Amino acid sequence: MKSVFFQSSPIRTVLLSFLALILTGTLLLMLPFSTKGGIGFIDALFTSTSAVCVTGLAVRDTARDFTLFGKAVIALLIQLGGLGIMTFSLALVSMFQESISIKWRFTFKEMYSDIRKMPVGTMVKRIVLYTFFMEALFALALFADFAGEFPLLEALGHSVFHSVSAFCNAGFSTFPDGLLSYRGRVFLNIIIILAIISGGLGFVAIHEIRRQFARGFAGGFFSGLSHHTRLVLVVTGILIAGGTAVILLMEWNYSLAGESPGTKFLASLFQSVTCRTAGFNTVDIAHLHQSTLLVMIILMFIGGSPGSIAGGVKTTTAGVAFIMLYSKFKGESQPVLWKRAIDRDTVDRSATLIILSLAFVLFSTFMVMITDNPVPGEHFLLSLFETVSAFGTVGLTAGATGSLSSAGKLIICAVMYVGRLGPLTLMAALTARKKTADFEYPEEHIMVG
């Protein structure tokens, strides 16, 4: 007899599963042996939500305030949140049932939007195996770097924690100052960058890239990829390169003054990659130029790619929106990408997601500004930065997290939860079968602009 749990709405199941994991994590973090000086319910809830939603915002110092057990709980919550409760649920179902219900199958395929010829069970296995393989690989690389600085067991702990945190785009660190003191460590920075990008490209894109490598680039690398993966790679490359250039230009004689040109470039590249959704930082965010913070807000809002661990409205959503605007300026009747027209439903979904996400972010920023005492001049930018960071599950902060009131922390918790699951839920709703009408209303033109 099938469980009632798996007969319910897939989206409702995912939402409740994440909520249950957050509450479980909260209770575990409140145990006496999880922290060194005790922790209140609000702070434990905030930390658990941030970990499960792979955000990285913290109201407590992960390195100083949590014991080894507490850090292990946070790492586990990051891992479960990163892979996603639905992935684990489907893996569990596939072990006990010969087939997965149709509604679960279609919901899962809409979430990971695309290897349509691959069985769901196979997709789940590949996702899990790929995740653990990449995390182990990055952990070994980090261990080789940390081994010369810490005792072996401590170096292993730092390596595993940062590998999971980076690949899952969480941004939690076991160091008191994060990665600030590692700004000039080229090898460590490159490994973290690769881990973040690997976790943020999306499993569909990674599957196709791996397949191209296996084929030996027969017929050309780019031409053998789907339009989805091509768009993911192009938009990701543009955002990383553009973000690096802007940060380098704005901070050259500001927060990066006194550093060597190589360190300035490395720090700018690292921050461009990490502010897309990972949350690590090798520069002090609170001391960045306001124009840099604005650019980072845009990058955080866009986030990673569909079917990945990353948050945000996603690279392809932003790409489709830009292509639509470009086609309008050119007077084309259809948005075209590499000699293929983008279907109207995809354009509508992209526009809807961006508009609703912007409205939610602005409303949440407004609520944060109401609940917390205003700081003259910079309070709006700091509140917006904090809110977008939470919505994009990034985890960067310009210094406002630690000073949030209890009400402000609860609002940010809600933003992290919606940022992690809201876009997924919205896409599932928008891709559901549309009701057909027996008639159509006459059109009416309204003057705009």
Our CA dihedral for 83, 193, 239, 425, rounded to 10 degrees, sits at 10
When pLDDT is cut at 50, 70 and 90, the band that residue 338 belongs to is confident
Q: Using CA atoms in the order 188, 191, 194, 198, what is the torsion angle rounded to 10 degrees?
A: -130
The per-residue b/e assignment along 357-379, b for 16 or more CB within 10 angstroms, e otherwise, is beebbeebbebbbebbeeeeebe
In the prediction, which pLDDT does 92 show?
A: 47
Amino acid 8: pLDDT = 53
Q: What percent of the chain has pLDDT over 70?
A: 82
Asked whether residue 376 carries a pLDDT value surpassing 60, the answer given is no
Per-residue pLDDT reduced to its tens digit, 93-105: 554 454 555 555 5
Residues contacting 403, CB < 8 A, separation 6+: 372
Q: Is the dihedral of CA 409, 412, 418, 420 positive or negative?
A: negative
SS3 content of the chain, % helix, strand, coil (to 5): 65, 0, 35
Structure token digits, residue 430: 């928008």
What pLDDT, on a 0 to 100 scale, did the predictor assign at position 96? 47
Distance from C-alpha of 94 to C-alpha of 122, rounded to nearest angstrom: 10
> What average pLDDT score do residues 38-54 get?
91
**What is the spatial distance between Cα 325 and Cα 156, in angstroms, rounded to a whole number?**
49
- Residues whose CB is less than 8 angstroms from the CB of residue 285 and which lie 6 or more positions away in sequence, other chains included: 293, 396, 397, 398, 399
Could you tell me the pTM of the whole model?
A: 0.85
Over residues 155-164, the pLDDT tens digits come to 999 999 999 9
> Smallest Cα–Cα separation from 92: which of 143, 84, 363?
84
